[in-house]
Chains A and B, each alone.
Chain A
Amino acid sequence: MNLSVLMPVFALMTSLLASVVLFALPEKGHRLRTIINLAAAILKIALVGVMIWGVAQGCKYEAAFTMLPGVEFVLRADALSMLFAGLSALLWLLTTIYAVGYLEDSPNRSRFFGFFSLCVASTMGIALAGNLFTFFLFYEMLTLSTYPLVVHRGTTKALRAGRNYIIYTLTGGAVLLFAIAWLHGLVGDLRFQEGGYFSDIAPSMRGPLAIIFVLMMVGLGVKAALVPFHGWLPQAMVAPAPVSALLHAVAVVKAGAFGIIRVVFEIYGLEAAKDMGLLAGLSVVAAFTIIYGSTRALYQVDLKRRLAFSTVSQVSYIVLGLCLLGPVGVAGGLVHLVHQGIMKITLFFCAGNYAETLGVHRIDELDGAGKRMPGTSVAFTLGAFGMIGAPPLAGFITKWTMGSGALAVGMDWVVAVLVISSLLNAAYFLPILHRLWFAEQCEPWPHERRWGRLETSAWLLWPPLITAALMLVAGLIANLPFSPLSWAELIVAREVAL
């Protein structure tokens, strides 16, 4: 047992053990719970940081044992897993801080933080999974651990959302299991491998492999909220704000998108998937989802619901990026995994702040909120501009990279999709910004709470400010080493020799 074996195990265990301890803590032990939460989150960031450094130097971290005859359980840190693990470790810390403030004085905190940590452990497992079997293991664990978070409030609406969430995700999981089992029956246990396996596959295998690919995309597309499997996502926004933030930025939708990346890159291989004509179909679905999500977002009056449809649209950028078949475009898709996470979590934090501090849920109640809550509103504005793709924010980097990648391989229609989507983004975000900053408050806030000098509790204010700053930094330093973009380019350099 050397360190390279233990590192991924430790990274997983930090949140898994934290979850067990949090469940065991008495409901009243608030201070101790917060300390454990934060300590585990910081420890995890440190572990992931070390692994990122190591992977950049070319180290290998891998732990494996045989679980069933012919099936291995593999945890492994490679460049791609670090992209996701880094994002999830960082945002876990911020979301935990936020959740501590958000759930102050509310019941069932022991249960909430227990499942919250379990959810993060699943995300870490998804990032570190070294083969499809292990991936599936954590993918289903994620479904189960998020259910109690979605229904946390126990209201009829929350329970209905939870039921739909479970129906969608478990059915998707069953389809995915079918595909994985079939693939396993055909070719055996495949570890994720850079460049994939099927570049010179026999023509007779192409038919089944194509069907398996479609099934996998359906199974993963449910979590990634590809249209028409997105129905659960807008409903799930009844969950408490930190849960929505985590669901939309890191955990569930990203797990789906990350799975799609793994399957396309490291099972099929980009070249093989293209040759079988599988990516063309996927790109059309992704492009449709982008436009559809943005269009639906336009018509929502509830702030969180608008953000939810925006997520439907934004996550598909990642999928569309994969289909661009050129190193630049693919890097654009990959980097959006991180960028979308930071931007969307900012927006959800802010939406939560408006709801908690002012009692505002609907967009037309936001008039003049910029004056009352300047910090939150600045963060929200940055997030919105990032989503629209204004330079020099993170979203701009994504769209620029993807656009130039698309042009380089002659897929001009993708640029059109990007432009239309940006216009739609502007159309549904700018009115909110107008209300925040330029409209006068005409009615009293529905449900105002005061926290002394600050506009809201410090626990709630700092996380969105930090993520907004990160978004700015990610855009500004995009060309320096260890920025999300350079990391994505490192992955692409290792993954594909296009």
Chain B
Amino acid sequence: MTLWLMAGLLFTPLAWAVLTLLLDFSKGRVVTWLGILVQVLVSLGLWAAVASDGEFLYLLGGWQAPMGIELRVDGLAVTFVLLTALVAAACGWHASIYLDPDKPWNRYFWPLFWFLWAGLNAVWLGGDLFNVYVGLELISLAAVGLVALGGQADALRAAIRYLMAALLGSLAYLLGVALIYGQFGTLSLAGVTDLVSNGGAQSNLTFPLILMLLGLALKTALFPMHGWLPPAHGIAKSPVSALLSALVVKASFYIAARLWLDLGGDLGGYALAQLIGVLGSLAVIWGSWLAFRQAKLKQVVAYSSVAQIGYLFLLFPLTWGVTDAISQQAQQGITLQVVSHALAKAAMFLAAGNLIMSVGSNRVDALAGVSRFLPFSLFSFGLAGVSLMGLPPTGGFAAKWLLLQASLASGQWWWLGVLLAGGLLSAAYVFRVYRASFIEATDTDQFYHPSRSLEVIPMILALLSLGLGLVAEPVLSVMSLPFEGAGS
């Protein structure tokens, strides 16, 4: 059963991508709605299956390691699968109303959307380094295509820049994979982990690990390699920005985290872990500051992504050389941060899209009067902002709490400052938007009112992000289900 669900998660999006390629926008929309329904149900099914039976490993087509395609699912993977289904469903639904069916290029949104989804599921469920790479490339290409969808010069420029960064990152990752393959003759992550921990390595493998992490960090837009992200996320259509910020950058981070948790203990070092943590902290501070300085609303949200991604890299120092309990706490905190940021950021981009559509301008100071005219979307934006600030009772707060505890318990108290200052800085840029919207304006007559469905979708996402803090315990209990069958 679990096998069929996993196969469904990989092959339905691919089938749908091909199918929608043949259809025009409106027909593609109907087909997509159906596909979204299937995907959400299958994801829920897989989540329930893992919650009751635990992890699962499958060798596709019966090929054995080292060459075969290996699928594996554990609590972490299925959490991300479900998250992807929720966010992608919301963005797909939003896009089906938001995008203009009369623009000829918009019909390509659907195939790209489905290729992206297929790539994401491949990364979450992949068990070997090469297939994960294929998934990652699929994601990058689909994402670049989505950014370029608008067709204007700005969008194309941002897309090209994004493409360059993504390819460079992939190249570094692939080089690392090749070096590891040359050493061990296997690409299965579990197999490599086994060999490394049994002392099977003949030469120093730290270099390939660093190379892979570097490539992935570039794709995740870790400071100071974040330059490509804000233009791309800022210029894309709102549902696309939401997908990119919520899910795409998380894919490369997910691989980096898996590599680190499996291999980092043996191949990494204190200095490397701390360095990555420091870069993450700088991303938090610098990204928040730049977000505060932006004049355009979507740029504020995009730079906020740079900052929020910075928190994720605290995983590296907080899981290196610490006890299992602390490592577990840090992993839980980071996972919650990924999930709550994905939900909140998607909500924020979609709500920002509505606000921009309403006032007809991308500027923050054009928002005057919007609190009276479009309170519902503003409220969604606000709730998402509360989660980004890490204030209770949101998922962002639960994540911050766990990370605070992990920092204290591991004696790395310096991350406390980052976590607390980061929260205050994000409050600065979020409240700047509130402030602009509370100014009373007289010319709200020219405002355009988006349809009710467009307003409801970000609210649902924002409420999920808020509620995550209240139900964090059951979510974490599934997420922490370990992958015990590794390598056996």
Contact = CB atoms under 8 A, between A and B. Distances in A.
Contact of A147 (B424, B434, B470): B434
Contacts of B427: 166, 170
Interface residues of A, number: 37
A137 B473 contact: no
B420 interface: yes
B234 to A, nearest CB: 25
A473 interface: no
A72 to B, nearest CB: 10
Given A67-B469, A154-B440, A181-B408, A159 B435 contact: yes
A163 B431 contact: yes
Interface stretch (A6-14, A34-42, A171-179, A251-259): A171-179
B440 A177 contact: no
A136 B392 contact: yes
Interface string A63-91: 00011111101000000000000000000
B332 interface: yes
B438 A154 contact: yes
Nearest to B329: A69
B112 to A, nearest CB: 37
A68 B398 contact: yes
Given A68-B473, A69-B473, A171-B424, A140 B379 contact: no
Contact of A68 (B386, B401, B408): B401
Contact of A144 (B391, B416, B421): B391
Nearest to A143: B391
Contacts of B409: 185
B371 A111 contact: yes
B393 interface: yes
A167 to B, nearest CB: 9
A163 B391 contact: no
Given A69-B332, A108-B372, A181 B391 contact: no
A274 interface: no
Given A67-B398, A67-B470, A170-B424, A177 B439 contact: no
B468 to A, nearest CB: 11
Contact of A67 (B371, B416, B434, B473): B473
B435 A163 contact: yes
Contacts of A73: 470
A69 B404 contact: no
Nearest to A27: B372
Contact of B431 (A166, A177, A178, A185): A166
A174 B434 contact: no
A182 interface: yes
A181 B392 contact: no
A107 interface: yes
B476 interface: yes
B438 A141 contact: no
A184 interface: yes
B472 A159 contact: no
Contacts of A120: none
Interface in A1-52: 23
A173 to B, nearest CB: 8
A112 to B, nearest CB: 11
A140 B427 CA distance: 12
Interface in B451-482: 469-470, 472-473, 476
B402 interface: yes
A177 B404 contact: yes
Query: Which of the listed residues A23, A136, A173 has the most CB atoms from chain B within 10 Å of its own CB?
Result: A173
B476 A69 contact: yes
Given A67-B398, A181-B408, 10 more contacts: A68-B402, A68-B476, A69-B476, A141-B392, A147-B431, A147-B434, A154-B438, A159-B435, A174-B424, A181-B401
25 contacts: A23-B375, A23-B379, A66-B473, A69-B402, A73-B470, A107-B372, A108-B371, A111-B371, A111-B372, A111-B375, A137-B393, A140-B391, A141-B391, A151-B438, A154-B438, A159-B435, A159-B438, A163-B431, A170-B424, A170-B427, A171-B424, A173-B391, A174-B420, A174-B423, A178-B404
Interface of B: 329, 332, 371-372, 375, 379, 386, 389, 391-393, 397-398, 401-402, 404-405, 408-409, 416, 420-421, 423-424, 427, 431, 434-435, 438-440, 469-470, 472-473, 476
